[in-house]
Each structure stands twice: as C-alpha cells, then as structure tokens.
C-alpha cells in the first residue's frame, strides 16, 4: 500500500507541476508559441515531384503546388461607440458595416532537406487574423506541424508602431518532399483597406486560384492588371467546390473555427445558392516564379500581376444604397473626416513659426525659413499603416517629439504656416512607386502626404520629408504626380511640375598630361538637382569622427591610385546653389610604354548605374531620378608621339535612355566624351534588355586603351 500511496502522491505532484507549466505557457502564448512536432509522412510521389521542381528552382527551398484565395464580403452591425473610437463622425463614410474576409490556403512542398520556412502574415489595426492552421500533409487529422509563432510590432530605429504588426511562423520541413498546408483568414474591418491582391508569393507557385464571391447587394469592379506576360485564365463560373470550403468543412470542429457563419457557407456549397444571389470572378494563375527583390525595381503595381478592387457602393439591410469609394469625392470625404479629428493645438507651434520669420521681408523667404526648419529639425520616420497610414499625428506631438511620418510632417508644416497667416493645406499624393492615379479612386492611389501653399496665384508644394530640397524644387518621386488638395468639404486635383532631366545635370571634366606611368591634371566636378541633394545627405549624415577629410575621401572614390590635392570647394550652404569641386588629381598606373608603343587609359570615372539585368527580370528599372550626366576628359598628346588607335564609339539611343561614348582629336589633345541620359528615370519593357547590352558595351569600351606610336 505504501508503494501505491507514494505513486499516487507522485502522480498528483506531476499533475500539479504540469498544470503550473500549462498556466505559465498560456500566459506567454500571446507573444510566443511552440507547437508539438509530428513527423510527416513523405510519399514517393512527393519526393519525385520535389526533385523535378528542384531542377527548375535550384536556389528555392519550397514551391507551392496549389494555392487558393477566397474573398468574401459581408455586412456587420457596429455600435456607434466603436465608430467614434475609430475617429469617424459619419457612419456612411467609414463603411464599418461592410467588411471583407480573405481566406488563404497554401499547399507547399519542400525542395530541400531540413527546411525552416519563415512565413509572415502582415496586418494592422484595421485587420484581424484568425483560423490559422499549419499541418503536414497527409497528416491532416493531427496537430500543427512543427511551428514556432511570433507576433510583434514593427520597429524602426527603436520606435515601435502598435498599429502595424506581423505574425511570423517558422515551419520545419525535415526532408525533401515534405508537404505542408498553411491556412488562415484575414478579416478587413474596413473594406477600404482591401485595395488590391497580388498573385505572386515569396516562393514559386505551380498554380493559384483567386475566387471573388460578390453578393448581389455589392457594386464593385475588379481589374486584372499586368497579366499579359503571365499565364492566367479568367472565368465567371461558380467553382463546383472550393478547396477552402472543403477544408473548413473537414476542420470546423477540430480547428475551432471562430466564425459562426462558416457552417452556413459550407451548406450553401453543398446545397447550392439562389440564382443571382452571388456572382463569381475566378482567376487561375499558373507557373509563377517567386516574388523576389530585383535591383532598381519599379513599384510592384507596374509589372506584377494583381487584382485591383474598386468598391463603389452596397445596399444595407434596409435596401438603401451606401456609397463607398466609387469616386474621388467619396475618397476625399473619407480623408477629410480623418483630418478633422486630428486634434491639433496650433498655439504650441505658433511661437516657433513666428520666431523663424522674424526680420524676413519676402513671402518666399518666410516660406523657406519654416520649410527648411522642418527639414532640418524633424526626423522622418518612413512607416505608417492602418488608420495611422491616413490620419496625421497632431502638430504638437510631431513638434515636441521632433520626429514623424510624412503625414505628421505635412500637418506640422501646414499648422506652422497657417499660424503666421499663410493659406497652407494638407495634400495627398501617390509617389511614382505607384502605378495608379485618381482615375481609379482607391486608398491604394495614395501613399504620401505633403503641404500645398496658395500664395499670389501660385501653388508651392512642400515635402518636409525631403532633406535639403529647395523651395520650388521637387524630388523625382513626386514629379508629374497628381495631388488631392484639401479645400474644405470640397477638393482640388492638380499635378506636381515634371522637371526635365537637365535639372539633374552633373558634369565631370578634366585636363591631363602623361607623367611617366601616371596621369596628372586638374578636375572640376559639378553637381546639381537630385545628385546635389544626395551628396548633401551623404555629407551631413556622416558621424562627427568621419567628417574630417570626408571630401577628399569622396573624391578619391575609394581608389588608392587616385591622389587628390589643392581642393577648392564652391558651396554657399544654400539649397538653391549647386556644388562644385575644383582639385588637382594624379592617377597612378594609367600609362604603359613599350619600345615604340604607348598605351593610355584616360577614363577617370565611369558612367553610373552599370548593373546587370537578369533576363528573367519582371519589373521595369527605376533608377530613382532622371539621369543627365556627362564626362569630358582631355589628354595632351605626349611630345614625340602620334595617335595610332582610339577605342570604337558606343551609342544606344531609345525612348528611355541615351548612352554615347566616343573620342575626338582637338588641337594636340585627345578628348573622351561619355554621356548618359535616362529621360524620366525609368527603363521599361524590352529596353531593360537593351540596357543589358549597353552595360556590356560600356564595360568593353572602358577596358580599351588609347594607343600612341612614335613619330
């Protein structure tokens, strides 16, 4: 009996300890979860398939055999208190009653042994994530696959943003051919945030189906963009049975699905729907490569296939038509409601604004003083999401913190300028990273905010996030872009001036002579426009200990054979003025002499942006600014020598760019001319591959020498 008593006591103790452990682990589940690992069963068929796919994608760890995304819409009653908490006065503008649910379903196959797949789910305070299930296939009835889950806020330079979060799952796939199914839902509490959906994932996909299930009471349009270069089939036929519906039916008990209407949804699929109750838009994609980062890539909306959603209106349960974002007026009304509830306290910033313009006589000087102060003293934090992606922080908060995102800085600028009597207005804009404009009203059209000042019949567009930009000058990313300017309950649409590439004219000129094995001479470097502001940010961004001799290091370009001396820098400190460097330069090991021949390499600096372009590249090239750069280097022909050969010229000229490299002989000198113009900063379509040819031709040109022969 003693043995049994001791065993019972031990058993109770173990149970108590186990309970304590469960309590502890549950308390940590919110931040960090670990799930039991089940050894997957790997079929021979999966192994063969994985080996075949690995030949096509040797660098990839997984490939999706099939993916399905189901998009549904539903109405949900919301109490007035929640509407007020979201900062909206008019229910008809926030559209909290109309929600969307996007259900994702991925079946992945490992192409390697020992794969630890990192799968992220991004969301914000206007989205909720649920019904997450990750399991091995065919072990569908078991627990989760070997998964580690983390849920955390974004962090930028130590600053957290609670409205933007990411869930990450580390999924272990032990052997080649391991199959994992990932399934989850994202509910958009505000349907306005469902603006588009891309077909690509971070891994290659054999096939993916996107089903949009549209109820009869919802008026919306779907545009398939950038699909011509990809395999896609579109139909309006209702699928016989959705994989997601099948999956929900199978797991609605074991997975504890948290939406009570799922059973009714599955029942509809089983028993059919009323005619006309729903319409379907089905998009089938096949043979998609991974969505990988490409060098100097244009924004994804320019080239990657995706669906663009334009939700115009819906009928509520009373049968009344409620507008959503079917027009620019509705889009602006939504924005306007947000900015009306910012909570600005202009008195906090008025004193500083007044002190900045004290003693200044002209309006433009006063605008410069406040505009430049914001640039120099408020740190730009380039992250925003959720409601915070559209609602600026109060001016006093940005002023006191000395940091903010684009909206907070635009709002601060506007309030400071208004406090000293100027007509300054908040302005929404989509940078050139986005392919959309206001002809397709959507929250996806805008990703930036600036301030517009109306003065003496002219508009001044002020972007406080652009360090060292001058008044009446504009960064390339906003040039030529439409803007939506607040005008009370009304709005104005205008366009930022599109400046020519000559605004960024940058030139390098030098005059040299041969001195034994070196070239010795003088150089002049002239920077303007975008290149000038880049240079200013570089110098002012250096740490104090690196600022000493920073200019000499910059002019040396990290080349130990460059020796810079007698530097004279022309820069007044004004943003409006160009930067000019005059200096003496000696370049070692540029001359080779053998008997009756002399070889000289004259090129001092090569043209920029000589990066290779992959033949399978998807995105257009966006170099970030309009390029206009010229190099002119002259060489005094050495006494007793004459020119024998000069490298052949290189010329590429099309609608996107022009490259011209050639030599001339002028009055006892050989002159090298190198010119590059990228007219609007983009290299599009087939010209991407012409650029690849140009890079190879430039490289060959720069490798060649000028040859001289003795008289």
Q: What is the mean pLDDT of the chain?
A: 84
pLDDT value at position 126? 83
- Whether residue 253 is contained in a domain is answered as yes
Phi-psi region of 530 (alpha: psi -120 to 50; beta: other; left: phi over 0): alpha
pLDDT-derived band of residue 263, with 50, 70 and 90 as boundaries? Answer: very low
Average pLDDT over residues 437-458: 94
* Contact status, residue 299 vs residue 481, Cβ threshold 8 Å: no
330: three-class secondary structure by DSSP: helix
| 282/140 same-domain check | yes
Exposure of 552 in the CB half-sphere (CA atoms within 13 A): 11
Residue 100 has pLDDT above 60, yes or no: yes
User: Residue 14 domain-assigned?
Assistant: no
Single residue among 326, 353, 376 that ends a domain in this structure: 326
Residue pair 547/619 in contact (Cβ under 8 Å)? The answer is no
- 322-350: average pLDDT: 91
pTM of the full structure: 0.84
pLDDT at residue number 245: 60
- Do residues 679 and 614 both lie within one domain? yes
Between CA 481 and CA 488, with CA 486 as vertex, the angle to 5 degrees is: 160
pLDDT tier, 602 (very low <50, low <70, confident <90, very high otherwise): very high
Please give the tally of structural domains in the chain.
Answer: 3
Same domain? For 562 and 699 the reply is: yes
Whether 10 is in a domain gets the answer no
* E-strand stretches of 98-251: 98-110, 115-124, 127-137, 147-156, 159-173, 179-188, 196-198, 205-215, 218-225, 231-235
Question: Does one domain contain both 284 and 195?
Answer: yes
Query: Can you give the C-alpha Rg of the chain in angstroms?
Result: 32
Last residue of a domain, one of 471, 499, 527: 499
Same domain, 630 and 485: no
* Same-domain status, 372 and 487: yes
Q: Does residue 71 lie within any of the structural domains?
A: yes
Q: What is the pLDDT of residues 357-379, one digit of tens each?
A: 999 999 999 999 999 999 999 99
What phi and psi values does residue 382 have, to the nearest 5 degrees? -85, 60
d(CA 548, CA 550): 5
Is the residue at 468 inside a domain?
Answer: yes
Pairwise pLDDT comparison (613 vs 418), residue with the higher score: 418
Among residues 292, 133, 123, the alpha carbon closest in space to that of 202 is found at 292
Per the DSSP assignment, residues forming a β-bridge with 123 are: 165
Q: Does position 573 have pLDDT exceeding 80, yes or no?
A: no
SS3 438: coil
698 in a domain, yes or no?
yes
What is the domain-level CATH number for residue 350?
A: 3.10.620.30
Tell me what pLDDT residue 587 has: 95
User: Around 83, how many Cα atoms within 13 Å sit in the side-chain half-sphere?
Assistant: 17
Residue at a domain's end among 460, 480, 499: 499
Task: Please name the helix (run of DSSP H) or strand (run of DSSP E) that holds residue 68, with its range, or none.
Answer: strand 62-75
Q: What is the dihedral of CA 632, 662, 499, 683, to 10 degrees?
A: -130
Lowest mean pLDDT, pick from 133-147, 402-416, 500-514: 133-147
Lowest mean pLDDT among 275-279, 398-402, 620-624: 275-279
**Res. 37 pLDDT band, cuts 50 70 90:** very low
Domain of 392 in residue numbering reads as 329-499
Pair (270, 343) in one structural domain:
no
Q: Which of 583, 593, 589 is nearest to 638 (CA)?
A: 593
pLDDT tens, 150-193?
Answer: 776 655 443 444 467 888 888 889 999 999 999 999 999 888 88
Query: Do 476 and 565 share a domain, yes or no?
Result: no
Q: Residue 429: name the closest of 474, 481, 385, 471 by CA.
A: 481
570 or 487, greater pLDDT: 487
Q: pLDDT for 205-256, tens place per residue?
A: 999 999 999 999 999 999 999 999 999 999 998 876 555 565 555 544 444 4
508 lies in the same domain as 548:
yes
Instruction: Identify the band that residue 589 occupies on the pLDDT scale cut at 50, 70 and 90.
Output: very high
pLDDT bracket for residue 304 (50, 70, 90):
very high
Average pLDDT over residues 292-313: 91
- Does some domain include residue 15? no
Same domain, 123 and 165: yes
H helix runs in 160-220, sequence order: none
pLDDT band of 422, cuts 50, 70, 90: very high
CATH number at residue 594: 2.60.120.1130
pLDDT recorded at residue 664: 96
Q: Is residue 78 part of a domain?
A: yes
How far apart are alpha carbons 698 and 704 in whole angstroms? Answer: 10
The percentage of residues in the chain with a pLDDT greater than 90, rounded to a whole number, is 60
User: Are residue 83 and residue 155 in the same domain, yes or no?
Assistant: yes
Task: Name the band, by pLDDT with cuts 50, 70 and 90, for residue 25.
Answer: very low
459 lies in the same domain as 573 = no
Q: How far apart are the C-alpha atoms of 440 and 97, rounded to whole Å?
A: 23
pLDDT value of residue 12: 39
The answer on pLDDT for 62 being more than 50 is: yes
């Amino acid at each position: 009996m003693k043995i049994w008593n001791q065993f019972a006591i031990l058993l109770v103790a173990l149970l108590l300890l186990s309970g304590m452990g469960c309590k502890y682990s549950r308390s940590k589940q919110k931040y960090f979860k670990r799930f039991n690992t089940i050894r997957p069963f790997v079929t021979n068929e999966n192994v063969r398939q994985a080996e075949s796919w690995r030949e096509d994608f040797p660098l990839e760890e997984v490939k999706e055999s099939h993916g399905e995304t189901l998009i549904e819409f539903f109405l949900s009653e919301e109490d007035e208190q929640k509407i007020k908490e979201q900062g909206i006065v008019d229910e008809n503008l926030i559209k909290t009653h109309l929600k969307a649910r996007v259900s994702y379903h991925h079946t992945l196959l490992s192409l390697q042994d020992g794969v630890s797949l990192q799968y992220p789910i991004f969301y914000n305070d206007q989205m909720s994530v649920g019904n997450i299930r990750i399991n091995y296939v065919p072990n569908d009835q078991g627990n989760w696959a070997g998964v580690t889950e983390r849920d955390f806020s974004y962090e930028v330079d130590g600053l957290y943003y609670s409205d933007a979060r990411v869930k990450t799952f580390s999924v272990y796939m032990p052997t080649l051919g391991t199959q994992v199914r990932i399934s989850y839902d994202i509910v958009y509490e505000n349907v306005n945030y469902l603006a588009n959906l891309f077909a690509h994932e971070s891994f290659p996909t054999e096939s993916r189906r996107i089903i949009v299930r549209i109820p009869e009471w919802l008026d919306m349009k779907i545009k398939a963009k950038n699909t011509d270069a990809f395999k896609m089939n579109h139909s309006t036929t209702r699928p016989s049975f959705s994989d997601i519906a099948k999956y929900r039916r199978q797991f609605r008990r074991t997975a504890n699905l948290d939406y009570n209407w799922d059973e009714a949804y599955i029942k509809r699929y089983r028993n059919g729907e009323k005619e006309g109750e729903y319409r379907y838009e089905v998009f089938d994609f096949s043979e998609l490569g991974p969505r990988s980062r490409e060098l100097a890539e244009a924004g994804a909306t320019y080239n990657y296939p995706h669906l663009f959603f334009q939700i115009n209106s819906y009928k509520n349960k009373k049968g009344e038509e409620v507008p959503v974002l079917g027009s620019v007026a509705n889009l602006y009304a939504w924005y306007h409601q947000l900015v009306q509830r910012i909570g600005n306290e202009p008195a906090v910033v008025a004193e500083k604004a007044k002190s900045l313009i004290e003693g200044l006589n002209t309006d433009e000087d006063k605008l410069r003083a406040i505009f430049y102060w914001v640039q120099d003293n408020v740190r730009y934090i380039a992250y925003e999401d959720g409601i915070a992606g559209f609602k600026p922080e109060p001016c006093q908060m940005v002023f006191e913190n000395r940091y903010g995102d684009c909206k907070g800085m635009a709002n601060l600028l506007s309030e400071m300028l208004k406090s000293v009597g100027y007509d300054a207005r908040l302005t929404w804009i989509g940078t050139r990273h986005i392919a959309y404009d206001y002809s397709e009203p959507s929250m996806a059209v805008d990703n930036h905010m600036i301030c517009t000042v109306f003065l003496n019949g002219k508009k001044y567009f002020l972007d406080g996030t652009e360090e060292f930009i001058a008044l009446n000058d504009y960064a390339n990313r906003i040039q030529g872009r439409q803007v939506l300017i607040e005008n009370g309950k009304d709005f104005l649409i205008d366009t930022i001036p599109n400046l020519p590439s000559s605004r960024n004219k940058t030139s390098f000129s030098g005059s040299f002579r041969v001195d034994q094995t070196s070239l010795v001479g003088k150089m002049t470097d002239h920077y303007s426009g975008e290149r000038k502001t880049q240079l200013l940010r570089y110098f002012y961004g250096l740490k104090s200990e690196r600022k000493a001799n920073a200019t000499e290091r910059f002019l040396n370009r990290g080349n130990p054979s460059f020796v810079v001396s007698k530097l004279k820098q022309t820069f007044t400190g004004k943003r409006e003025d160009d930067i000019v460097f005059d200096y003496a330069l000696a370049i070692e090991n540029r001359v080779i002499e053998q008997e009756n021949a002399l070889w000289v390499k004259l090129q001092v600096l090569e043209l920029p942006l000589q990066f290779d372009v992959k033949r399978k590249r998807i995105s257009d090239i966006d170099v970030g600014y309009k390029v206009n750069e010229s190099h002119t280097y002259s060489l005094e022909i050495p006494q007793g020598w004459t020119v024998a050969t000069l490298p052949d010229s290189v010329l590429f000229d099309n609608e996107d760019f022009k490259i011209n490299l050639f030599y001339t002989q002028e009055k006892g000198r050989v002159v090298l001319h190198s010119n590059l113009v990228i007219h609007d900063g983009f290299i599009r379509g087939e010209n991407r591959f012409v650029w690849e040819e140009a890079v190879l031709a430039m490289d060959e040109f720069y490798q060649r020498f000028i040859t001289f022969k003795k008289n």
